[in-house]
Amino acid sequence: MLDVLDLAYLPQEENQFRRELRAFIKEATQEMDAYARARSWMGFDAGFSKKLAAKGWLGLTLPKQYGGAEKGYFSR
């Protein structure tokens, strides 16, 4: 599974972001049944998007001049 995959070659900052994001997703989807979780990537949830935006996690790879964070592709 990807949650136990050793990605030691990634920069420390990227691994920390990965752990934080996984915890966020786990909490955000804990009340969904497996069927809904498996298909959640196909839909749009404004509330979920607002939570991502509140953490600054939208537009991670966009240039700062456009409101992004100019992060690398690992953050994507």
Question: Which tens digits make up the pLDDT trace of 1-17?
Answer: 555 666 777 788 888 88
pLDDT of residue 66: 92
CA distance 48 to 75: 18
Question: Which tens digits make up the pLDDT trace of 20-41?
Answer: 999 999 998 888 888 888 888 8
pLDDT of residue 71: 87
DSSP state of 40: G
pLDDT of residue 64: 93
Question: Which tens digits make up the pLDDT trace of 47-56?
Answer: 888 999 999 8
CA distance 74 to 33: 29
pLDDT of residue 4: 62
Domain range annotation of the chain: 12-75
CA distance 64 to 76: 15
